[in-house]
Chains A and B, each alone.
Chain A
């Protein structure tokens, strides 16, 4: 089946910060296939179904990290161990490792698919730039600190790491060293800037995009991006330089639930 909504019991809930939780499920069928960058369609019975990046998989268990922002994600964050949640996937493409010297730029909650990717890069030389508004907005820090390689933390207010913005840190890194590829997930304007820096420096860039998504399997068209009808759920969510150059709406506008264009 293409749209097989199966329910799984929540196995564990971990609090990451005041707004973010990680939920884990024993779901070997999904976990075996999960690749960094993939996402799941997560059904909160009676509430809504939303796309969420996979933040970890060990082949048996699967984890998603959720930020309470809307009705669905808030409801999901209030769920307890043993409750049933619908999961389908994994869907979408994956981050592809390119070259030996890799930079990652994570903005806040966007760290979730990137940490799963970074942990898979055992042989590469890595710089992990992780920015958030304040000290309290970080998540999955223990995993980031355990990575092999350099990590740079920054906040808007200097309450943790440097008082800086992640894209400045990327520019400084590129001025210091030759980097083969940069991977990013976070606020779209940040990702747009990362892409522009990558283009200027002629290096590979892969960004994990987000749009209003309903079916998750490339059928409904809700997440189609202009002007090429690129489907975030099926063609993406990871876009590389070639695709990002074509996506006029990237960093510009998005469509809401009605299909109206809104600024990002």
Chain B
């Protein structure tokens, strides 16, 4: 028998495959529905101050993945707390992704969401397609330190995972990660989308995404995600939620061998729908059986 169980910051998960932030995670009802499809945990959509988000198209595919520019729409964290209460019934650990338009916002949002006692708070300092929040907080180690500190202080003991941007040089990436670690992050989520990138329709002569620029995700960015996870594992002793282009069990195993204790899926949900969690779970199980593994502990970090 193989065991697909894993653990991040003491939070036990039945599967290492989790719903990454951004898809099918904006209402309590839809998260409860996704939870029935076998993910180890559910990550909510970015929760922050009231924000409009972008017009459509918010998503477009390209040959090796997709680009998205949803723009962090939110009814406001006060209202989202009601949706979170519903999602807490889902019987899988809830990871609440938060964003702010200012450092102080991060503190206010962390305080509000920690009251419903989610499993983990994920700090989004890396959204490349919002002009008001996201990546602007994730490039300068000094700002990263202030954001992570205030979230840590306001999260009432709930573990926090800092979601990192890949859109930095590999040395700057590690400097940002170190700032987050020094400020008290309990884990890393890596990576957010790459870019931003752009797709132009040559007949309409216009960028397809309304925001023109969007974060690139999917199989095309997987090698970068694997490198980021590998570097984090090598430099820090913190658990990692790895994500970026995971579509199959083999991809998930690769991400775990790089050092991830759990693996997020987003583009895969776009392509395969909610059934992707069972698909990847089965494929990981098959890989483990065929290669003589019984526990994920033998796989996590095995490439080092």
Interface set of A (CB-CB < 8 Å, partner B): 1-5, 7, 41, 43, 45-50, 72, 84, 86, 214-215, 217-222, 224-229, 231, 234, 255, 257-261
Contact = CB atoms under 8 A, between A and B. Distances in A.
A259 B29 CA distance: 13
Given A84-B203, A229-B33, A258-B51, A220 B74 contact: no
B75 A259 contact: yes
A216 to B, nearest CB: 9
Nearest to B269: A219
A5 B208 contact: yes
A195 B52 CA distance: 33
B30 A48 contact: no
Interface residues of B, number: 44
B46 to A, nearest CB: 11
A6 B261 CA distance: 39
B27 A257 contact: no
Given A84-B201, A255-B27, 18 more contacts: A45-B201, A45-B204, A46-B206, A72-B55, A214-B70, A218-B273, A221-B26, A224-B30, A225-B29, A226-B28, A226-B29, A228-B33, A229-B24, A229-B27, A229-B32, A229-B33, A260-B75, A261-B75
A235 to B, nearest CB: 10
A214 B204 contact: no
B55 A48 contact: yes
Interface string B17-52: 000000111111111111000000000010000111
B210 interface: yes
B209 to A, nearest CB: 10
B57 A258 contact: no
Given A7-B201, A224-B26, A226-B29, A215 B58 contact: yes
B52 A220 contact: no
7 contacts: A7-B203, A43-B57, A45-B204, A84-B201, A219-B270, A220-B70, A221-B25
A215 B26 contact: no
Contacts of B32: 229
Contacts of A7: 201, 203-204
The main secondary structure of chain A at its interface with chain B is: loop
Nearest to A215: B59
Interface string B233-260: 0000000000000000000000000000
Contacts of A50: 56
Nearest to A48: B55
B210 A48 contact: yes
A214 B271 CA distance: 16
B196 interface: no
B53 interface: yes
A217 B73 CA distance: 18
Contact of B79 (A2, A5, A218, A260): A260
A55 B76 CA distance: 37
A220 B201 contact: no
Closest 10 A-B residue pairs measured CB to CB?
A229-B30, A49-B56, A229-B33, A45-B204, A229-B29, A224-B30, A45-B206, A260-B75, A259-B75, A48-B55
A76 to B, nearest CB: 13
A146 to B, nearest CB: 35
A259 B30 CA distance: 13
A3 B270 contact: yes
Given A48-B210, A214-B70, A257 B53 contact: yes
Contact of A214 (B51, B56, B61, B203): B56
